[in-house]
Amino acid sequence: MKRIRFSLVIAIACATLRLGSATAADWGELKGTFVLKGGVPKAKAIAVTKDIPFCGKHKLVDESLVVGADGGVKNIVVYMYLKTGAAKPAIHPDYVKTAKSVVSLDNKGCRFEPHVVLLRTTQTLKVGNPDAVGHNTKVDFLGGNTSFNDLIPAGKSLDKQFSEAERLPTQVSCSIHPWMTAWVVVKDNPYFAVTDDKGSFTIKNVPAGEWTFQFWHEKAGYVQDVTVGGKTTKWSRGRLDVKVASGKATDLGKVTLAPKVFEK
């Protein structure tokens, strides 16, 4: 009888392991590259009107549209779009390791660095000021987070935490130096990215399956009118349904944007 019971326990345990293996999420990655059609626009110089002896030496330019030498569009935000009440995606163990990490946003050289900062609701935003002049960091959230407007003296920093995901990127500004702007993207899952100076992005360890991704840029709003593989199409409200393959990269390829996309 004991042998039968022992065998039964082993059988149940094995079945449980098989079930767990079958339902465990497989992982893939999503990547792509955004390029601007035509020539690379010249960056416009910023008119420095405050703290001129310090800020004026940094040769500041308008960063609302940054295009690399090869035409890549920088600072396009890509994130998983989830409808209200939708099931949350599984979180890969690599992201669990960084769930409580600190993410920096610096008032550096009379500009914000980085221009777009990605932050999870479990992480801490450290707003720093390594400059020799004081800065003011102002964020007006549209969602459930508390807005703030804090003075940060030279060489100081402050920590902020946000418990709610924001539907869209939120602008950051400095009341002392009005040309200074940035964007903070607050999400409750790690499946987001921002394009680099080559226009490329990669989101690693995405649960395999069908997901909707949102594409947004500060000058364009929703990135809707695109050309992919020579075919012009529209991503309604900047959203694209993507089937993320297990164990490999799902590549959107080169996504071309016409200059008019950024003329809103």
Q: Is the pLDDT of residue 182 over 80?
A: yes
224 backbone dihedrals φ, ψ, rounded to 5°: -115, -50
Give a yes or no: residue 1 inside a domain.
Answer: no
Residue 15 DSSP symbol: H
Specify the length of the chain in residues: 264
Q: What tens digit of pLDDT does each residue of 190-207 get?
A: 999 999 999 999 999 999
Residue 145's CATH number:
2.60.40.420
pLDDT higher than 90, residue 264: no
- The gap between the terminal CA atoms of the chain, to the nearest Å, is 78
Angle subtended at Cα 210 by Cα 208 and Cα 211, rounded to the nearest 5 degrees: 100
Residue 138 pLDDT greater than 50, yes or no: yes
pLDDT tier for residue 25 given thresholds of 50, 70 and 90: low
Query: What is the β-pairing status of strands 157-161 and 124-128?
Result: antiparallel
The answer to whether residue 14 sits within a structural domain is no
- 168 lies in a domain? yes
User: Is residue 20 one of the residues assigned to a domain?
Assistant: no
Q: With a cut of 50, say whether residue 66 has pLDDT above it.
A: yes
Residue 15 domain-assigned (yes or no) = no
Chain Cα centroid distance, residue 172: 15
Q: What percent of the chain has pLDDT over 70?
A: 90
Count of the separate structural domains present in the chain? 1
Res. 108: pLDDT tops 70: yes
Better-predicted residue by pLDDT, 143 or 161: 161
pLDDT-derived band at 85, boundaries 50, 70, 90:
confident
- Mean pLDDT to the nearest integer, 27-31: 97
Predicted local confidence at residue 84, as pLDDT: 85
Helix count and strand count (H, E) for the chain? 3, 19
Q: Beta strand 157-161 with 148-152: parallel, antiparallel or unpaired?
A: unpaired
Coil, strand, or helix at residue 31?
Answer: strand
In a domain? residue 10: no
Would 6 be classed as within a structural domain? Answer: no
CA angle 114, 34, 256 (to 5 degrees): 150
In a domain, residue 66? The reply is yes
Angstrom distance (rounded) from CA 137 to CA 160: 11
Query: 22: Cβ–Cβ under 8 A, 6 or more apart, which residues?
Result: none
Q: Give yes or no for residue 5 having a pLDDT over 60.
A: no
Residue type present at position 68:
G
Tens digit of pLDDT for each residue in 158-180? 999 999 999 999 999 999 999 99
| pLDDT attached to residue 237 | 96
Number of other CB atoms surrounding residue 212 within 10 Å: 13
Which residue range is the domain that position 117 belongs to?
26-262
